[in-house]
Amino acid sequence: MHADTKQLKRYLLGDLPEREADAIDLQIITDENLCEDISLAESNLIEDFLEGALSADEERLFRSNFMTSDARREQLREIDLIKKVARSQAAQKKQSEVQIAPPAGFFDLVKTYLRPLALGAAVVALLVVGLFWFGYLGGSSSALEKQYAELNKKDLGNPSDLTVYSNISLVPGNFRGSDSAVKQNEDKLTDTVLFRLTLPSKVDGSTYKARVLRGSSTVFTLEAAKVYQNSGGQDVRVLLPKSILQKGQYQIKLESQSGAEAGTFAFVIE
């Protein structure tokens, strides 16, 4: 039996006939892919609830049968936060586009009343101002960084709480090309991505500054990424927004709070 999306939704809501629900329970034990499908279905169900896309009966079942654990209530809070961040980003981008757009007919007016030499100087000045304005408005991600700084304050040490995120594990090293770097398909990423960054045997402190770079440009900064124990030693775990991870080559640079570099981690988004 292969459960489809609608059937998994009804399963999570407790709305399946007992025989079908029992069959899915048994399949979960042996089918790892089904576990991934259910995890995705949980996230989709929560999004439908937050967007008001559930029917009255489905919403009743959601509250009574689905929201029955602290883990799911925490998942609801996280997805709600992520959606608010995404809306805030979209609103900021729209606002910046409106603010930097010149009024209709502006350049026609300049051409009409400025002599050619003056026109050249004016265009240069306008470009300089425009680039500064765009850089100030469009390049700032401080609101998103603040939101994710709060998200990263939660405890990321419980494996069962991390199954809702795409998981990318990296070891330090500088890679000249993309062939030797960890690759991840953009379409398979969740809205928030968990990175596990393996630390060398000697660590300096309990938190690190993490900078995400695409080429030579820093696209995201997290000031206090926490260190966690694992079976092989220690790693830094960070939650990052998918929105900053377009297709291309990236590096995450870790620095101790004293400023010492702790490692560079390369990966590719395809």
For residue 226, pLDDT over 50 is answered with: yes
In terms of phi and psi (left: phi > 0; alpha: psi -120 to 50; beta: otherwise), the region of 252 is beta
SS (H, E, C) 47-97: HHHHCCCCCHHHHHHHHHHHCCCHHHHHHHHHHHHHHHHHHHHHHHHHHHH
Give 217's pLDDT tier (boundaries 50, 70, 90): confident
What are residue 118's phi and psi, to 5 degrees? -65, -35
Helix pair 116-138, 106-113: axis angle to 10 deg: 150
**Between the CA of residue 86 and those of 83, 148, 205, 242, what are the distances in Å?**
5, 11, 32, 10
| For the chain, domain boundaries | 5-66, 157-269
CA-to-CA distance for 130 and 208, rounded, in angstroms? 35
Please state, rounded to an integer, the average pLDDT across all residues of the chain: 80
For residue 6, pLDDT over 80 is answered with: yes
Q: Do residues 209 and 221 make contact, with C-beta atoms less than 8 angstroms apart?
A: yes
Residue 175 confidence (pLDDT): 54
**Does CATH number 3.40.50 belong to domain 157-269?**
no
Which of 76-80, 99-103, 117-121, 151-155 shows the lowest per-residue confidence on average (mean pLDDT)? 117-121
Q: Tokens 């590096």 belong to which residue?
A: 251
Mean per-residue pLDDT for 22-46? 87
Mean per-residue pLDDT for 131-155? 67
Residue 253 confidence (pLDDT): 92
For residue 236, pLDDT over 50 is answered with: yes
pLDDT digits 0-9 by tens, 159-204: 878 888 989 999 887 555 556 678 999 888 999 999 999 887 666 6
